[in-house]
Amino acid sequence: MNHLQAIFLGALQGISEFLPISSSGHVLLFQKLLHIQTSSLLLDISLHLGTLLALIIALRRELIHLIRHPRDPMWIMLIMGTMPTVFIAMMFQSFIEKAFQSGETLGAEFLITGILLFLSENRYQQQLGSTRQIRISHALLIGCAQGAAIMPALSRSGLTMATAIGLGISREEAVRFSFLMSIPAILGASIFAIKDLTSVPSPLLSSLVLALITSAVFGYLSIRFLLQWVSRHTIKPFGYYTVSLGILLLLNQWIFHIV
């Protein structure tokens, strides 16, 4: 992996981590398209640490509030939302690793992500834009969605937002809760990956640092963009994109075999 590829993958990760289009699916897809050969573990750690940094900066006010108010009910919601994710990750670790290695499920997963985005918006509009408060039962369901999104192209932000919006929670609240929930998820995944890390080859170090910085910058911009977008628009455009990409990948897999 050279510096240009590192910058490209960092930008791709930063943009797609928080938009509901699946970062891991896009990074895996372009690694295959561009034949980028590097340690997937090292790259994954660098990219996720970058997006974690973006989250901390973008949500610093919310995080400071939670630290200062340890009895805030949001703590319970975040804990309840994180538990199913941890359970699913532990139960299906080997299956998930095989999915990442093969990439054969990318098309179907992008398609599922898009369909869920459409369904959530339709249900939200049927409820006349009701704005329910997040309850423990909601947090558990959203946590299950986040757990399912450990698969490569099932968008974590997409599934958590879709679940929250489908439950009648406002788009803005759904996005903020999705972002807050992603902090322990990304941090846990990074720590889990780092424990298997033995060393970092010196020639690769500068590329990994570039990937981290780029993913942090583009991740921050992506967060700010989505928060502004959902205050005025639906998330259906992201559904159109992921459905289209999923169909293209399935057609390639079944018929064209270009990639």
* pLDDT one digit per residue (tens) for the chain, 259 residues: 788 999 999 999 999 999 999 998 999 899 888 887 766 678 888 999 999 999 999 999 999 999 999 999 999 999 999 999 989 988 888 888 788 888 889 999 999 999 999 999 888 877 755 567 889 999 999 999 999 998 989 999 999 999 999 998 989 999 999 999 999 988 887 887 776 666 666 778 888 899 999 999 999 999 999 999 998 999 999 999 999 999 999 999 899 877 6
Tokens of 53: 């940094």
Query: 225 Cβ partners below 8 Å, 6+ apart?
Result: 19
C-alpha distances (whole Å) from 7 to each of 3, 55, 210 are: 6, 19, 6
| Whole-number Å distance between alpha carbons of 250 and 239 | 16
pLDDT at 131: 62
**Cβ atoms 103, 28 nearer than 8 A:** yes
pLDDT at 125: 79
pLDDT at 139: 95
The sign one gets for the Cα dihedral 123, 127, 131, 135 is negative
Closest CA to 17 of 205, 212, 171: 212
pLDDT at 128: 58
First-last CA distance in the chain: 20
User: Cα-Cα-Cα-Cα dihedral of 205, 206, 210, 212, to 10°?
Assistant: 20
pTM of the entire predicted model: 0.91
Q: What is the largest CA-CA distance in the chain?
A: 56
Of all residues in the chain, what percent are helix, strand and coil, respectively (each to 5)?
Answer: 80, 0, 20
| Whole-number Å distance between alpha carbons of 46 and 44 | 6
| Whole-number Å distance between alpha carbons of 103 and 186 | 21
Query: 131 Cβ partners below 8 Å, 6+ apart?
Result: 168, 169, 170, 173
| Whole-number Å distance between alpha carbons of 210 and 5 | 10
| Whole-number Å distance between alpha carbons of 258 and 253 | 8
